[in-house]
Amino acid sequence: MNHNLFALFQTRFPCDLDRHFLETPEGRTFSYRALEHQSACLQRVLKEQGVAPGDRVVVQVEKSPLALVLYLACLRCGAVYVPLNIAYTPSEVAYFLADASPRVLVIRSEAMDDLASVVAEAGVAHILTLDADDTGSLAILAGAVAPDHSVAVRDRRDLAAILYTSGTTGRSKGALLTHDNLASNALALHRVWGFGPEDILIHALPVFHVHGLFVATHCVLLNGSGMFFLSRFDAQAIIDLFPRATVLMGVPTFYARLLQHPHLTAAQCAHMRLFIAGSAPLLPETFKAFEQRTGHRILERYGMTETGMITSNPLHGERVPGTVGFPLPGVEVRVCDRDGRRVIDTVGVLEVRGPNVFDGYWRMPDKTASELRPDGFFITGDLATIDTDGRVAIIGRAKDLIISGGYNIYPKEVESEIDRIAGVDESAVIGLQHADLGEAVTAVVALQPGADLDEAGLLGRLQGKLARFKQPKKVIFVDTLPRNTMGKVQKNELRTRFARSYFEASLGIP
């Protein structure tokens, strides 16, 4: 049996191959027939560049229909797809090329000059271009070859993709994702989210990340249905699509921005079936406000690069704000202490086991051994609780835990109280080095426009809400919190930005 993920998708293609696979806001349409043909042509191009099963293809391009089909072509020929964020600098790309050793690199035409020396130093055999309008040398070559409609035979554990983690605590790690990792997760999500023949997805996510590349796209392909394919988030464009679509997948920032739009109404959302959020924590306040405005309760789920999706709030049943629901079918979770002992009714580090769990880190056997236990459980690094019903709540990252004066402080608890204060838009609580306490609880706060709130006023409103040791020792006001492309607040950046000045202040250094 062929376990190639593309072969699975082919079994789900609609009987009418002229059905739309995607449509862009500009009115461009791409049918399943075109998907089949173009992926076959791109496969031929890759093979002519010497790409064989197991070879890496590194891709750093803008989101476009052909960019997505390139991913499918890599699956089809058995290559290992390695997507990179377009925000990565040449020096960062140099690291990825040296680490992944790709046969082919696909980049934007405008990046050719900037990356010329990097590519030469890495010894990449072939470099092709693909631009946002689906032009470039890759498109030209694809238009000049005969399609190759074969599908490489792959085993369950053969690699399908390498996705690099953010690398906030060291050099980026390449997570090895197999055909079975991706297939099992896609099938579980398609089932638990109740996809049916009439579903149409709004896709406004990047396609270099698990959420947009795998979760969203795979559900559509398994459903044999279509999607509206937006190059970026556009609140007005998305709201205009609600009467023609049924599902939106987004990061919490999407929903916060939609709530700021006057055209977001229950009537406009009447045709929508499901709103899904992930990739960063969804504030309970956003959950409640969205329900009040639209009548829809956002379904929050939880996952990570190394595992795909792990849990989901139920399609039918209570969706509890501040929780990420239950393990997906076939997935096991447990909470353990730092020594790996299972703990009950308390905060610990979440561990997960299942067919979705990655195969390790590329060329990092020691790192793989330290994060994958002998019994197959992966140590996520996320602090969590599991209630008696099995519902999971994520408390924060273990590395974000603050230990101040010997007390453990979970930033999310403090952030929740701060975010309830009138005038606060959002907050991030971090620990900064302190001469006396070890770490000092520090709140970095972005205010709503026109808010009149200073440090004393904010701290005063926390009195009686939190134990004294949990209350911030310092409040720093900023215009906005730094986020990555998936909407996660970059606390590591905040710690770096404010660490030295705060430490010196704690020592009384002027």
Write out the chain's pLDDT in tens, 510 residues. 999 999 999 999 999 999 999 999 999 999 999 999 999 999 999 999 999 999 999 999 999 999 999 999 999 999 999 999 888 889 889 999 999 999 999 999 999 999 999 999 999 999 999 999 999 999 999 999 999 999 999 999 999 999 998 654 457 899 999 999 999 999 999 999 999 999 999 999 999 999 999 999 999 999 999 999 999 999 999 999 999 999 999 998 899 899 999 999 999 999 999 999 998 888 888 899 999 999 999 999 999 999 999 999 999 999 999 899 999 999 999 999 878 889 988 899 999 999 999 999 999 999 999 999 999 999 999 999 999 999 999 988 888 889 887 777 889 889 989 999 999 999 999 998 876 777 889 999 999 999 999 999 999 999 888 888 899 999 999 999 998 877 889 998 999 898 765 555 544 444
Question: Are the C-beta atoms of 410 and 383 separated by less than 8 Å?
Answer: yes
Answer yes or no: same fold for 5-179 and 233-336+372-397: yes
The structure tokens 């956003």 sit at 286
Q: Find out whether 171 and 92 touch, Cβ atoms under 8 Å.
A: no
Helix (H) or strand (E) holding 31: strand 29-31
In whole angstroms, give the CA distance from residue 358 to residue 356. Answer: 6
Residue 250's pLDDT is 95
100's tokens: 């992944």
Burial (CB < 10 A; 0-12, 13-18, 19+), residue 135, is middle
Query: What does the angle CA 406 – CA 412 – CA 417 come to, to the nearest 5 degrees?
Result: 100
Kindly provide the residue ranges of all beta strands, DSSP E only, lying in 407-479, ordered along the sequence: 407-409, 424-434, 438-447, 474-478
Query: Architecture of domain 233-336+372-397 in CATH?
Result: 3-Layer(aba) Sandwich (3.40)
> Which CATH architecture is the domain 401-506 placed in?
2-Layer Sandwich (3.30)
The span from the first CA to the last CA of the chain, in angstroms, equals 70
pTM, rounded to two decimals: 0.87
3-state secondary structure 185-235: HHHHHHHHCCCCCCCEEEECCCCCCHHHHHHHHHHHHHHCCEEEECCCCCH
* Domain residue ranges in the chain: 5-179, 233-336+372-397, 401-506
Predicted confidence at residue 192, as pLDDT, reads: 98
3-state secondary structure 327-390: ECCCCEEEEECCCCCECCCCCEEEEEECCCCCCCECCCHHHHHHHECCCCCEEEEEEEEECCCC
255-276 b/e (C-beta count within 10 Å ≥ 16 → b): bbebbeeeebeeebbeebbbbb
Which residues on adjacent β-strands are paired with residue 441?
A: 431
Q: Which CATH architecture has domain 5-179?
A: 3-Layer(aba) Sandwich (3.40)
CA distances from 260 to 264, 265, 290 (A): 8, 11, 10
Q: How many CA atoms lie within 13 A of 309 on its CB side?
A: 33
Are 489 and 420 in contact, with CB atoms under 8 Å apart?
no
